[in-house]
Structure 1
Amino acid sequence: MIILLPPSETKREGGDATGLDLARLRFSSLTATRRGLLRELRAISRDEDASLKALKISPRQRAEVLRNREVMTSPTMPAIDRYTGVVFDALDSASLPERARSFAASHLVIQSALLGPIGAMDPIPAYRLSHDSKLPGVHLAKTWAPVAPLEIGAGDDLVLDFRSEAYVALSPLPSGANSWFLKVVTESDDGTVRALNHFNKKSKGLLTRTLLMHARDLATIDEVLAVARAAGHRMELGDPGELRLYVSKD
Structure 2
Amino acid sequence: MLILLPPSEGKTAPRRGKPLDLDGLSSPVLNDTRERVVDALVALAGQPDAAEVLGLGGTQSALVDLDAALRTAPTARAETIYTGVLYDALGLTTLTTAARRRANRRVAVVSSVFGLVRPSDRIPAYRLAGDVTLPGLGPVAGVWRECLGDAIEEAVGSGLLVDLRSTMYAAFWRPPAASPGRPNRTATVRVLHEVDGVRKVVSHFNKATKGRIVRDLLENGADPRTPGALADALVDLGWRVEQGDETVRGTQLDVVVSDV
Question: Corresponding residue for 1:182?
Answer: 189
Question: Corresponding residue for 2:143?
Answer: 143
Range 229-238 or range 68-77, more displaced: 229-238
Question: Corresponding residue for 2:30?
Answer: 30
1:153–1:178 CA contact under 8 A, matched in 2: no
- Cα 1:5–1:15 change in 2 (3 A) is farther
Q: By how many angstroms is 1:231 displaced?
A: 2.3
Distance in 2 separating the partners of 1:171 and 1:6: 12
1:152–1:173 CA contact under 8 A, matched in 2: no
Question: Corresponding residue for 2:99?
Answer: 100
Distance in 1 separating the partners of 2:131 and 2:227: 32
Question: Corresponding residue for 1:69?
Answer: 68
- Using structure 2 for the length normalisation, give the TM-score: 0.89
Q: By how many angstroms is 1:234 displaced?
A: 1.3
Distance in 2 separating the partners of 1:122 and 1:201: 22
Correspondence 1:213 to 2:219: yes
Question: Corresponding residue for 2:160?
Answer: 158
- Cα 1:203–1:36 change in 2 (3 A) is same
Unaligned runs of 5+ in 2: 179-183
Distance in 1 separating the partners of 2:213 and 2:43: 39
Range 111-120 or range 32-41, more displaced: 111-120
Q: By how many angstroms is 1:15 displaced?
A: 5.4
Question: Corresponding residue for 1:20?
Answer: 20
- Cα 1:224–1:15 change in 2 (3 A) is farther
Amino acid at match of 1:157: G
Distance in 1 separating the partners of 2:242 and 2:152: 24
Distance in 2 separating the partners of 1:153 and 1:69: 32
Distance in 2 separating the partners of 1:146 and 1:239: 29
1:7–1:83 CA contact under 8 A, matched in 2: yes
Question: Corresponding residue for 2:254?
Answer: 244
Distance in 2 separating the partners of 1:201 and 1:32: 32
Question: Corresponding residue for 1:41?
Answer: 41
Range 80-89 or range 130-139, more displaced: 130-139
Q: By how many angstroms is 1:14 displaced?
A: 1.1
Distance in 2 separating the partners of 1:107 and 1:87: 17
- Using structure 1 for the length normalisation, give the TM-score: 0.92
Question: Corresponding residue for 2:4?
Answer: 4
Cα deviation, 1:131-182, whole Å, max 9, x if unaligned, reads 1122113221211112112221363220000111111112222223611111
2:20–2:123 CA contact under 8 A, matched in 1: yes
Amino acid at match of 1:25: L
2:19–2:74 CA contact under 8 A, matched in 1: yes
Give the CA RMSD over aligned residues: 1.8
Between the two proteins, the alignment pairs up a number of residues equal to 248
SS in 2 for 1:73: coil
1:153–1:174 CA contact under 8 A, matched in 2: no
Amino acid at match of 1:167: Y
Amino acid at match of 1:147: C
Q: By how many angstroms is 1:125 displaced?
A: 0.5
Range 73-82 or range 146-155, more displaced: 146-155
